[in-house]
Amino acid sequence: MTTTAIEASALGKRFARRGNWALRDCSFRLPAGRVCALVGVNGAGKSTLLALAAGLIAPTEGGITVLGGHPADARPDLGYVAQDKPMYPQLTVAETLRMGADLNPGRWDRDTAERIVSGGALDRDARIRSLSGGQRTRVALALALAKRPRLLLLDEPMADLDPLARRELMGLLMATVAEQGTTILMSSHVIAELEDSCDHLLVIGDGRVRLAGDMEELLAAHRLLDGPAQDGTSGAGPELGQDTVVVSHTTTGRQCTALVRDAGAAPPDGWRAAEPSLEEVIVAYLRNPEVPGLALDTVFAAPKEATA
Amino acid sequence: MIEYRIDRRSGIATYLQIVQQTKQALRLGLLEPGDRLPPAREVVEATAVNPNTVLKAYRELEREGLVEARRGLGTFVRKALGTTVGDSPLRAELVAWVERARREGLERDDVAALFAAALDEHFQDRKEEQR
């Protein structure tokens, strides 16, 4: 049985009564045990969504359930690392870890905390305020992971880490998922970095869901068509069936390239079909806000067959 | 023990890279029947690949009868792939041939092209073999 880690329905948030909507009409479901990438342009609402899931702010409309209940009730099972890594600046690294242990009695994993901190050659007696951005990230991740949460919410966790630390800590996150079945929702701008580590995708643009679902299924739902540009009025690329949505198309000289979403019918005469990359799909949806979004729900999907 | 190297720019699906590297190790005798594949946890910690990707690769190897999962113990090699060619006389002969080709001024690509042509001539099921 698949359980749900996060479920949002028509979720909306605005910070001032007459202000703009930071998030609007957001509906998606994140199954437990997934590693989900949260992608969107700056100001798209990613941090707002993570703060809503963490129960730190209340929705203006719609609802969100986390681990089957109200976000505030899920807090003991939540690990949340905000973008600015808020910690007590006057405490030392050692004191911060001791505080983590005291605040999470019965579930604190001291070895994990020590391991993450010692990976960065950090001085235990250094105060948090004296640490570099990357060092703070390391301490914040140590706090979040040592709590052994069922759901980790990470807001651009890798942004200020060096390449070595990135690899080490991403590996550690994956090992945590393998061992504990943790669900992770993490925002990032570096799609190439997310491609191998994440198996689920949530793209938001302008406060709304653009893409949601299993990464492989989302990729499989799209094709990149390549063919001769049409003369005359249509200008809109290939002649396609009614069920086909053209997400984006560009014409260069006599050639037209289109990213389409369809049931996999044979491409029109003279056109070649190829599998798009994750980046191509995401960029196409973010660039073309008028194209309807796509949310795949994997609840009733059959177990995936291994195919060669 | 085998260590996987994931090449993100190869254009080959990550799980398939793990499958191919395991088969390569089986062909060369680096992995033998009874050997344990590294636990998924270790592979993902070293490569930062999603655990499901590793499990998918192991399932595929199991489906092909090359490995078996033993509950609570791990995934073990069931049989070698083809004849183990790692330290056979064939390898020594091939190495000698490659050395000669190089002495006679052939480039790496020339040698690869010759070898591929010879393979095509003698193995009809080439596609299947490469999988």
Predicted local distance difference test score (pLDDT) of residue A1:
46
**Which of 30-89 (A) contact B at CB < 8 A?**
35
DSSP string, A246-296: EEEEEEETTEEEEEEE-S-PPPPTT-EEEPPPHHHHHHHHHH-TTSPPEE-
Per-10-residue mean pLDDT of chain A, 308 residues long, equals: 85 90 93 95 92 95 94 93 94 96 93 90 91 93 95 94 91 94 93 90 92 92 84 52 77 84 74 88 91 73 38
Task: Report the residue count for chain B.
Answer: 131
Distance CA A6, CA A28 (A): 8
Query: Nearest CA to A51 among A80, A85, A11, A89?
Result: A80
**Mean pLDDT value of segment B41-46:** 94
Instruction: Give residue A253's Cα distance to chain centre.
Output: 37
> What is the least distance, in Å, from the CA of A45 to any CA of chain B?
26
Instruction: Give residue A233's Cα distance to chain centre.
Output: 40
Contact A122, A135 (CB under 8 A): yes
The CATH number of the domain covering residues in B14-77: 1.10.10.10
Structure-token pair, residue A199: 């198996």
First to last CA, chain B: 22
- Worst-scoring range by mean pLDDT, A226-240, B33-47, B54-68, B116-130? A226-240
Query: Which of B8, B53, B60 has the CB atom closest to A192's CB atom?
Result: B8
Say whether B46 and A171 touch across the interface (CB within 8 A): yes
Say whether A199 and B52 touch across the interface (CB within 8 A): yes
**Mean pLDDT value of segment B18-40:** 92
Predicted local distance difference test score (pLDDT) of residue A264:
66
Sorted by where each begins, the domain ranges of chain B are 14-77, 89-130
> What is the least distance, in Å, from the CA of B19 to any CA of chain A?
10
**What is the helix (H) or strand (E) element at residue A213, kind and residue range?**
strand A208-214
